[in-house]
Amino acid sequence: MFYFVQISLGVPSKEPLKLLPFTVKVLVPKEKPKHYTFTKTFNLALVKPDLPFAVQFNYGRLPGNEPMYVRAMLVFANPIQAGKRVETCRNHYDKLRPARGEVLAKSVLHSYQPGPGVYQQGEPANPQSWLSIVVPATGTQIQHIYEMKCKNTCFRNMTHRAIEIIFTLEDMWGNAYARHVMGLQSCSSPFRDLKDMKKPQRNCKRAQTPSTRSSGRKRPRLLSVESESIDSSTSEVESIDVSRMESAGNDIVTNEQNFVPLPVLALAFSIQWDRCAAVLWWRCRCRVAIVSSVDDQAVVQHYPTRREFALG
C-alpha cells in the first residue's frame, strides 16, 4: 500500500506518546569489528558515517489489522535550534545529488536497505518540511538498517550540534500512536567519544567519595578558647605577668646602676647549685655511705636517712 501522507509542517514534537505499545532497541553486534554502539546512560547511539546501524521495533497494532508505519526523523536537540531542519553539508550534498536526487541529497539519515514500501519523505524546497524515512510495520516486530551521511563536525549545518532521532508509530494517514526519542551522534570514532563522555562522570564520583589515603602527616588541632571560660585565677596570673614585665622594664632602664661583677654571679650560681644538691640528698630514702681516708686507714662514715634524722 502506498504511503501518501507527508510529514506535517512545523517543529516536530518530542513529547512522550504511548497510545500503543512501542519499544525501540539499537542492535549492537557482539562480534568485532564494531563501528557503532549505544549507551543507556546517555540514551545515545554513536555511529560512523556511511556505515549501517540496525534498529529493532516492537509495537502493538490497531484493531482491524490496519497498515502501520514507523517514521524516523532527525532534529536538533537544542530547543533554540529545533526550528531548523537537519540537512547535509555542502560537500556531501554535492556528492549525493547527481546519483540520488534532491531529497536524498538533503537528507542526513538514509535507509541502508531501500526497497518496496520504504519512502524518503520531505520537500527540499520548503525549510519547514522535515526530512524523514518511513518504513512499513508488518506484524508486531521489524528490524531496519539506517546510515548517516554527515558527521557532527561537518561544516555549517551540523557543526558540533547535538542531534536526536524521533521514531513514531503511525497509521496510513499520518496519525501518531507512539513516539520514542533518543540521541544520535555521527563521528569517526564512536568508542573513543563514548570514553571521553564517561570521564567527567568518573571525576564527579571521585570527588564525592572520600579518599582512603592518609596524607602522611597529622593535622594540627585547633583549640578554641572562649572568653567566658577565663576565670578569676587566670586574670590574676595575667596581672602578675604584667607586673613582672613592668619590673623588667625598670631593670633595663637602671641596668648601669645595678651592675653585678662576673665573679659574684659565679659564686651565687654555685650556692644555688649546692642548695639543689642538698634537697636531692634529703629526698634519698636509703643510707649513704661515704668512704674517707684518715691516717691511711679507710673509715666508713654512716649518715642517717631522713627518717632516722627526724626520729633523733
Domain holding 69, by residue range, is 17-206
Based on the structure, what is the number of domains in the chain?
2
Mean pLDDT of all residues in 13-27 = 94
**Do strands 44-47 and 176-186 pair parallel, antiparallel, or not at all (unpaired)?**
parallel
Is 284 labelled as part of a ligand binding site?
A: no
Confidence category of residue 212, pLDDT binned at 50, 70, 90: very low
User: Considering only CA atoms, which of 134, 136, 95 is closest in space to residue 111?
Assistant: 134
Which cell is 78 given?
Answer: 537544542
Is 286 labelled as part of a ligand binding site?
A: no
Distance (Å, rounded) from C-alpha 144 to C-alpha 73? 14
Residue 97 is part of a domain; what is its CATH number?
2.60.40.720
Residues 183 and 272 in one domain: no
Residues 181 and 310 in one domain: no
Confidence category of residue 182, pLDDT binned at 50, 70, 90: very high
The model's pLDDT over 270-300, given as tens digits with 9 standing for 90+, comes to 666 666 666 666 655 444 444 444 444 444 4
Helix (H) / strand (E) element for 201: namely: helix 190-208
Residue 172 domain flag: yes
Beta-carbon contacts of residue 282 (< 8 Å; ≥ 6 apart) = 306
Domain-ending residue, one of 206, 234, 252: 206
The model's pLDDT over 93-146, given as tens digits with 9 standing for 90+, comes to 888 888 878 888 989 999 998 888 898 888 888 888 889 999 999 999 999 999
Q: Hunting for cell 602522611 — which residue is that?
A: 216
**pLDDT of 160 strictly over 60:** yes
Cross-strand bridge partners of residue 17: 179
Question: Would you state the pLDDT for residue 298?
Answer: 47
**pLDDT of 181 strictly over 60:** yes
Neighbours of 77 (CB within 10 A): 14
Residue 82 domain flag: yes
